[in-house]
Structure 1
Amino acid sequence: MINRNLIRIRVVQLVYAWYQNTNRDLRNAEKELLFGLQKSYDLYYFLLLLMVELTDTYQNRIETKRNKFLPTEEDLHPNTHLIDNKFILQLRENKQFQKQLAERPMSWESNEAFIKSLLDEILSSETYKEYTAIASPSYEEDQEFWRKTFKQFIYVNEELDDILEDECIYWNDDVEIVQTFVMKTIKRFSPKNGDKQPLLPMFKDEEDKEYALKLLHNSILDEKEYRGLIEKHTEKWDFDRIAFMDLIIMQVALTEIFTFESIPTNVSLNEYIEIAKSYSTPKSGTFINGILDAIVQEIKKEKRIFKN
């Protein structure tokens, strides 16, 4: 689940922090990297848990209304599609889901007001009305309801973003990417897998974990080589006045270009230009593109890299 885009962002942030810190310890930096990536993976489960929490809140609301002194007909015979939703029942019983929550406990308890407000918004929506109009929803219809609901009410939700930022400092940069993985997970669920439905692993494979550590390690240890190349190609600018974040992004980008032969150069360039657009100045993307492109042309001509 932790893709290379998330890894690149986290490494850029850590290399930036490395130069702000007087007590520099590479092992601590590597631990911090893995800890941050673990927190990104926790967010994936926290968002899966949100759907279960919304279901539980609805069930509690139904029970409260049924036990009123003078319950209405609607109170006594509510629509139970949400409670009986076969996708949520399967998610709740999922072995991997239960194991993760047991090992790394998490809860939405402190955000009760948000849960209730979000539930009200869902229950008053056309998506919910269309869902409850189905006499007896199939598994696919239950699944589709949550896919639509997540996309409509949870994905890019500003109030939710604020809550997640308060919950964990690492989540602010991860929310949108992790939410796309949750939607993919909903779509991948199949009733035939029962409680053994595979959820996304933290890393696709061991190679991605090694990529993360090597990218951080080499970005720091090979600083002189990459800074030298950058300084050589920024003669028209006052090197000391280049935005520090731009310098870090280029340093990490060059580390990837030199270190990982399997990653095409244009992929590396595009990814770090996008990072610059989000994490540095408005003109950084264009500036970094020009400098890195010039460096790449030179090192190709000198045959210091052998890839596309």
Structure 2
Amino acid sequence: MLALMVAVNKEASRRMEVMVQRAKREGTPEPSQRFVLNRFAIQLAENKQLNDFVSTQKSGWDENAAFVASLLEKIEQSEVYQDYMNNPEDNYDVDREFWRKIYRTLIQDNDELDAILEDQSLYWNDDKTIVDTFVLKTIKRFDEANGPKQDLLPEWDSEEEKDFARKVFRAAIMNADEYQRYMSEASRNWDFSRLAYMDIILMQIAIAEMMTLPNVPISVTINEYVEIAKFYSTPKSAGYINGMLDGIARNLVESGRLAKFIEPKKEREYKPKKQIITKKHD
């Protein structure tokens, strides 16, 4: 997504060369180059981390030249662009803020772009919101003084966070049969084989977190996966997963397989947010 901004600026530079040459031939005033000489865009194009990443990719925005050209035209027709070109202030902060506004208004919510990304990977629908947040934060962090050595926003806040994700993921995969047995034991009144597969996945990861991260309270784990279920599973899944995980945790604690304190059920009883769930279902 950062490389897309570079691609747009590159296309604008190509067009500018043509217009400047035409103006020289015809003896007319040359067009303003403020957009193509945007300080932030030039710094981003020279960024070492970004260029190292792009060099490892099998595809790039050159394969979607028509979209890049279309996006550039929309930018040039936008109110944000007109305000920028007419702004009497001309400094790095103005240049950086211009691209932040362009990303928010024309790139963040762009159906044509979403279609291109979905063709590359179905998982983009899930990733795009997070990526947009990362991009906007990255733009805000840019400092002209850092030049091409500007650090991009890291994927992880810390090594501890990275280890957390790896540990939970590994445990969920390696102990899948054992964790699903816990679910089966807790679903005596249900046909386990008929459960929504996404519910099984979410509970499997939640159990992995309970079993492998002793410092995370059970209530925190359950609440996290109940919230995730609201977005990724069925309208009834949040309440069901809440009850199942609560029962599984109690069985594990009582049997000595899980050494954690568990709160009295009445203090953390799940209350479904009907309005939110109904809205998501609709």
TM range, smaller chain: 0.7 to 0.9
Aligned partner of 2:141 in structure 1 is: 188
Q: Which residue does the alignment assign to 2:76?
A: 123
Q: In the alignment, does 2:43 pair up with 1:81? A: no
Aligned twin of 1:57: 11
Gaps of 5+ in 2: 263-282
Q: 2:151 aligns with which of 186, 189, 198?
A: 198
Rounded Cα–Cα distance in structure 2 between residues aligned with 1:72 and 1:246: 69
Deviation string, structure 1 residues 198-246 (Cα, Å, up to 9, x no partner): 1123444443443333323321332343223322322232222211221
- 1:255 alignment partner in structure 2: 208
How many Å separate the matches in 2 of 1:132 and 1:300? 65
Counterparts in 2 of 1:157 and 1:271: CA distance versus 1, 3 Å? farther
Query: Is 2:141 aligned against 1:150?
Result: no
**Alpha-carbon offset, residue 307 of structure 1:** 6.0
- The higher-RCO structure (CA 8 Å, 6+ apart) is 1
Does residue 226 of structure 1 match 2:192?
no
Between structure 1 and structure 2, the one with the greater Rg is 2
- Cα shift at 1:61: 1.7
Match of 2:163 among 210, 219, 228: 210
CA RMSD of aligned residues (A): 2.5
CA-to-aligned-CA distance 1:121-170 (integer Å, 9 cap, x gap): 11111111111111342211111111111111111322211111222454
Q: Relative to structure 1, is the Cα distance of residues 197 and 105 closer, same or farther in structure 2, using a 3 angstrom cutoff?
A: farther
Shift of 1:190: 1.1
Question: Aligned pair count?
Answer: 260
Name structure 1 gaps, 5 residues minimum.
Answer: 1-46
SS at match of 2:50: helix
Deviation for aligned residue 1:183: 0.5
- CA distance 1:83–1:204, shift in 2 (3 Å): same
TM-score, length basis structure 1: 0.75
Matched AA of 1:63: E
Paired residues of 1:93 and 1:195 also in contact (CA < 8 A) = yes
SS for the counterpart of 1:67 is helix
TM-score by length of 2: 0.81
What SS does the corresponding residue of 1:78 show, helix, strand or coil? coil
Note closer, same or farther for the CA distance 1:102–1:302 as it changes in structure 2 (3 Å cut). Answer: same
Q: Distance in 2 between matches of 1:210 and 1:67?
A: 55
Identify which range, 145-154 or 268-277, moves more after superposition: 268-277
Q: Distance in 2 between matches of 1:71 and 1:58?
A: 21
